[in-house]
């Protein structure tokens, strides 16, 4: 943890993400208005002391909607990446440990999934489902596990011939002990980095789906559907596009900085102390 916090990249990323998480966590206390309350007398008001980020086309307070939208975007990122990471670890561990025909089958499945553009695959699946936050999280998770699978497989293949693994095998250790006691703990660094970077990708995908009207549905707020509202008034209500766009940019930047910093700080080959 000390090395992570002493790394400038991970420190800035940690500060950004911690700040956004705190805003999302305490959104009900910070928000000055009901994010779903319609006020026809306050339609498209510019940012002011009463409405810090202005109002939208229905008179709803954009600042309050941004705070509650952060909850949605971050929840989708965490849950979707959690699903993808679990699937990737299981398939990658099986592929890298048992090799042979098992490895061939799993890797060909990965190749097939990677040959399909992920965003279009998600669009195709969402088209047959009712748009909801839970469907979005599950679909993103089920279509994003390929990178983790390849990472875990590569780590297992690298560690499989190490002396401590061969010694455990000689002593009669079962496959489950070899996988969970020796191989998986030594493969966590790339998994952690990949998961952190994956959250940024999931936030972007959710925002894109919501922008297209296939994600989180109104009146529930997300950064993507706030952007959708903003495109109709972009010529004279700039705040509806600027603030959610900046929120997405800063969040993705924070996760990318944190991921890059973690990769440098957790790399055992680095000489930094």
Return the structure tokens found at 123.
């669009």
| Locus of tokens 């690298």 | 158
The pLDDT tens digits for 81-126 are: 999 999 999 999 999 888 889 999 999 999 988 888 877 878 777 7
The pLDDT tens digits for 117-136 are: 877 878 777 777 777 788 88
| Locus of tokens 């990949």 | 194
pTM of the predicted protein model: 0.84
Q: Are 76 and 198 in contact (CB under 8 A)?
A: no
How would residue 58 be classed by pLDDT, with cut points 50, 70 and 90?
Answer: confident
The DSSP annotation for 174-223 comes to: -HHHIIIIIITGGGHHHHHHHHHHHHHHHHHHHHHHHHTTSSSPTTS--H
The pLDDT tens digits for 144-197 are: 899 999 999 998 888 877 777 778 777 777 777 788 887 888 888 888 888 988
Q: Which of 68, 200, 76 is nearest to 134 (CA)?
A: 76
Q: Which of 145, 144, 139 is nearest to 215 (CA)?
A: 139
CA torsion angle 236 239 241 245 (round to 10): 160
Q: Is 17 or 165 the better-scoring residue by pLDDT?
A: 17
What one-character DSSP code corresponds to residue 55? Answer: B
Q: Are 196 and 78 in contact (CB under 8 A)?
A: no
Instruction: State whether CATH 1.10.3720.10 applies to domain 2-30+61-266.
Output: yes
Res 236 pLDDT > 50: yes
Domain boundaries, the chain: 2-30+61-266
């Amino acid at each position: 943890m000390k090395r992570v916090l002493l790394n400038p990249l991970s420190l800035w990323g940690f500060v950004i993400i911690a700040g956004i998480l705190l805003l999302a966590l305490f959104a009900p206390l910070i928000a000055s208005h009901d994010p779903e309350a319609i006020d026809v007398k306050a339609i498209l008001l510019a940012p002011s002391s009463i409405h810090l980020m202005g109002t939208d086309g229905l008179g709803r307070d954009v600042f309050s909607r941004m705070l509650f939208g952060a909850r949605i975007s971050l929840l989708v990122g965490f849950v979707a990446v959690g699903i993808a990471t679990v699937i990737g670890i299981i398939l990658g561990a099986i592929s890298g440990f048992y090799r042979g025909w098992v490895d061939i089958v799993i890797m060909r499945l990965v190749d097939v999934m990677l040959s399909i553009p992920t965003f279009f695959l998600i669009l195709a699946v969402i088209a047959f489902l009712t748009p909801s936050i839970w469907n979005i999280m599950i679909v993103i998770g089920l279509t994003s596990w390929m990178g983790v699978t390849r990472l875990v497989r590569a780590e297992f293949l690298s560690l499989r011939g190490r002396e401590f693994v061969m010694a455990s095998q000689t002593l009669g250790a079962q496959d489950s002990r070899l996988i969970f006691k020796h191989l998986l703990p030594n493969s966590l660094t790339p998994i952690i980095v990949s998961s952190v970077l994956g959250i940024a990708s999931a936030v972007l995908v959710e925002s894109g789906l919501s922008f297209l009207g296939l994600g989180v549905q109104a009146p529930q707020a997300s950064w993507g559907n706030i952007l959708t509202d903003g495109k109709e008034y972009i010529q004279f209500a700039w705040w509806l596009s600027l603030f959610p766009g900046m929120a997405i940019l800063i969040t993705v930047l924070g996760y990318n900085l944190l991921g890059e910093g973690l990769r440098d700080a957790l790399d055992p080959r680095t000489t930094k102390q």
